Structure 1
C-alpha cells in the first residue's frame, strides 16, 4: 500500500482529494523546554559534583576512605554532565533527530552506558565499603585508602567499561541502520546491559544495606552488654575485701578514697546519708583505645543509617522507570511505548546525578561547612 491507503472515489467519479495535513506544532515549544532543562541540569551536576571533588582535595578533614568513594561517584556524574548530556540535549533540541555522524553517536552511546553504569556501580561500591566498615570496624582504615579500597574503586570502572565496550567496537553497526536516530540497535545487548547495570547491582546494594543495618543493631546490643559488664566488674573489684587488705598492708590511702583529694573527674564523689559513693565514668570501656575507635565508628554509622533510606529511595525512584522501559522495549516488540515516556524516564535517570551530591553531602557537617565557605566567597 505504499505510505498510506488511497482515497475512495465518489459517485461522480472524481477522485477525493486527500485531507489537509494537521497544523504544525508551535515551533520550538518542546525543544526549548528540553534545552532549558538540559542546561539547568548540567549546571547543577557540574556545580554539585565539582564542589564534592574540590572539598575532598582541599580539606584535610575530608580526606577519608569513604569520601574517596564519593569522589569516584562524583567523577562519574561529572563526566556524564560534560560528555553525554550536551549531545543528548542537542538531540532533544532537534526533536530527537540525530544530525551528526554515526561514529559520534556510537561514542555517545558508549559514554552514556559506561558513565551511567559507573555511577550505579559506585553506589554499590559504597554499600560494600560501609558493610565492611560495620563487619570489621577495628580493622577498617578510615583515614588512609588501602589496597582493598583501591581494588574496589578500580573494579567499578573496569566493569563499567566492560559493559559499555561492545558499542564502541561496532555492535551498533547493523544493516539498515537509520542514521537519523541515535540509539542502541541490538536488543540482546540492551537486555545484557540492563541486567549488568541495574538488575544485578541494585539487589546486591539492598542486601548489603540490610546486612549493615542488622550488623549495626547487633553491634549496639553487644556494646551495651559489654558496658554493663564493665561497670559491674569495676565496681566489684573496687569494693572487694582484698582491695582493703592491700591498702592496710601498704599503709597508703589512694587518692580516690580521700573525699578531700582533688579529682580529675568532677562529680565522681557523691555523699548520700553520710556514705561516700564513688563512680568512675572513665571506666566506661575496659580498653580505652579500642573503645574510642568503636564509638567513633558507631557514631558515623548511625549517621549513615539516617541517610541510607534517602539514598536508596532516590536511586530506585530515578533509575527503575528507565531500566523497566528500556528492557521492555527490547523484549516486547508489540509494546508501543510513546517517545514521550522514553524521554521522561531518561531525563529522570540523569537527574539522579544531580541528587547524589546533595544526598551524600547535606547530611555531613564537614561538607556543609566547606560549601558555606565557598558560597560566602561568591555572595
Structure 2
C-alpha cells in the first residue's frame, strides 16, 4: 500500500483508517467483499456488545444477589464497553467500509480519537481497580469488612474514569491538530503521544495488575488453608461417650462452704474476618476476564508502539486491521465469560431473557 510514515504506523489508538494502511485509499463500495465483510462483522459486533453488556448492567441493578463490591466494577467495565459500541465502533466500521479513508470532519476525528483512547484506558483501569479492591479484601479483611458500604469502590471507579479522561485529554486540547495534516487520514499525529498513551493505558497498568492478582490469590490460598486447618481442629478427637454431667451431691443439698466453680478461661482467639463465599466465587471469574483482555489487546499494543518507536519497520496494514478488530472483540466477551463461569450471573441472565420473551 505504499510507504508508511511514523504517524501512519502509529495510527490512532484503535489502529483504524489510513493509520492502518498508510497513504489514502479510494473509498470502497459495498460491492467489494472486504467492505461487505466489514459491515456485516461490524453490525454483528456492535449488536453483541450492546446486548451483552446491557444485560450485565440490568442484571446487577435488578438482582440483589449480584450487588457485590466486585460487581460494581463489572458494571463500570460494561459501561465502558457500551460507550465504545455507541460512540466508537460505528465510526470505526464506517471507516473500514470506506476502505480506510476518513470522509468526515477533522474535529469529529479528534473526538473519535479521544473517546477511543479514554474508553480503552477505562477498561484496563477498571481491571486494575478490581485488582486493588480484591488485594485489600484479602490482605486486610477486617478493615475491608468494616468499610463494606461501597464507598471505596465508588471512589476507585470515579478515579479510573478521571484518569482515563486525563490520558485522552491532550487529543481534544489540540495535540492532534498538526501542521500539514491529511484530512483523509484519521489517526494520532504525534508519535510521542502514541508512546505515552500506550504506556499509560497498557504497558504500565498490566504488570501492576498481574502482580496484585498474584498476591491476592496467594493470600486467598493461605486464607483457605487456615480455614480448613481450623475446621479440622474443631472435629472430635475420637469416639467415646461424653463426660458425665455435673450434678448435685447426694441428698440434694450443697455443703455450706461450697463455692460455685468459675468457668474455665477460654483461650484467646485471634479475630479472623471472613471472606464471603459470593466474593470468592466472583474472584475466580476475574482471571478469565483479565486473561481475555490481555489476549485481545496485547497484540494491538505491541504493533501500535512498534510503529511509533520504529518508523522504518514495515507493519502490514492487514495485521494492524486484524489486531484492531481483535481488541474490539474483547468488549463482547465479558458477558459470555460471566455466563459460562459465574452461576449467579447465568441464573439471572436466564431469568432476564425469559422475562424479555414474555
Query: Same fold judged by TM-score > 0.5?
Result: yes
Partner of 1:330: 308
- Give 1:43's aligned residue: 47
**3-state DSSP of counterpart to 1:362:** helix
- The answer as to whether partners of 1:41 and 1:354 remain within 8 angstroms in 2 is yes
TM-score, normalisation: structure 2: 0.80
Does structure 1 conserve the Cα–Cα contact (< 8 Å) formed by 2:52 and 2:335?
yes
276, 286, 311: which one pairs with 2:289? 311
Does the 8 Å CA contact 1:63/1:143 hold for their aligned counterparts? no
- Deviations 1:250-290, CA, capped at 9 Å, x for gaps: 999xxxxxxxxxxxxxxxxxxxxxxxxxxxxxxxxx99xx8
Q: Distance in 1 between matches of 2:50 and 2:102?
A: 25
Shift, 1:200, TM fit: 1.0
Q: 1:301 pairs with 256, 264, 280, which one?
A: 280
Q: The residue matched to 2:207 in structure 1 has which SS?
A: helix
User: Could you tell me whether the CA contact under 8 Å between 1:64 and 1:142 is conserved in 2?
Assistant: no
Structure 1: any 5+ residue segments left out of the alignment? 1-23, 253-285
Matched with 1:81 is 85
Contact 1:98 1:181 in 2 (8 A): yes
Whether the aligned pair in 2 keeps the contact of 1:49 and 1:75 (CA below 8 Å) is: yes
Equivalent runs, 1:22-37 vs 2, <5 Å:
27-37=31-41
Shift of 1:304: 2.7
What is the match of residue 218 of structure 1?
Answer: 222
- Given that 2:30 and 2:36 are in contact with CA atoms closer than 8 Å, whether structure 1 keeps it comes out as no
Q: Of the two structures, which has the highest relative contact order with CA contacts closer than 8 Å and spacing of 6 or more?
A: 2
**Contact kept in structure 2, 1:70 and 1:360, CA below 8 Å:** no
Alignment partner of 2:150 out of 130, 137, 146 = 146
CA 224–89 in structure 1, closer or farther in 2 if over 3 Å, else same: same
* Cα distance between partner residues in 1 of 2:322 and 2:159: 31
Which of the pair has more CA radius of gyration? Answer: 1
Q: Structure 1 residues 247 and 368 mapped into 2: Cα distance closer, same or farther (>3 Å)?
A: same
> 2:59 corresponds to which residue?
55
Q: Deviations over 1:329-349 (max 9, x none)?
A: 100011111211111111111
TM-score in terms of structure 1 length: 0.75
In 1: Cα distance, 2:96 partner to 2:288 partner: 30
Give the direction of change, closer, same or farther, for the CA distance of 1:178–1:136 in structure 2 (3 Å limit): same
**For residues 197-233 of structure 1, what are the alpha-carbon distances to aligned partners after superposition, in whole Å with 9 as ceiling and x for unaligned?**
0001111111111111110111122112222333469
Kept in 2: contact 1:65–1:141 (CA 8 A): no
Name which of 193, 197, 200 aligns with 1:193: 197
The one of 312, 319, 339 aligned to 2:317? 339
Shift of 1:146: 2.9
Which residue number in structure 2 is paired with residue 115 of structure 1? 119
Q: 1:299 to 1:144 in 2, by over 3 A?
A: closer
Deviation of 1:316 after TM superposition, in Å, equals 1.3
Change (3 A) 1:250 1:46: farther
- 168, 172, 181: which one pairs with 1:168? 172
- Residues 170 and 363 of structure 1: is their aligned pair in 2 closer, same or farther, counting only changes over 3 Å? same
Q: Write out per-residue CA displacement over residues 7-51 of structure 1, whole angstroms, 9 at most, x where no aligned residue.
A: xxxxxxxxxxxxxxxxx9994221111111111000010000000
Shift of 1:247: 3.7
Question: C-alpha separation between the residues in 1 aligned to 2:188 and 2:173?
Answer: 13
The secondary structure found in structure 1 opposite 2:341 is coil
**What's the offset of the Cα at 1:127?**
1.6
SS at match of 2:200: helix
- 1:303 Cα offset (Å): 5.7
Task: Give per-residue Cα distances to partners, 1:72-112, cap 9 Å, x unaligned.
Answer: 00000000000000011101110000000000000000000
Corresponding position: 1:348 with 2:326 = yes
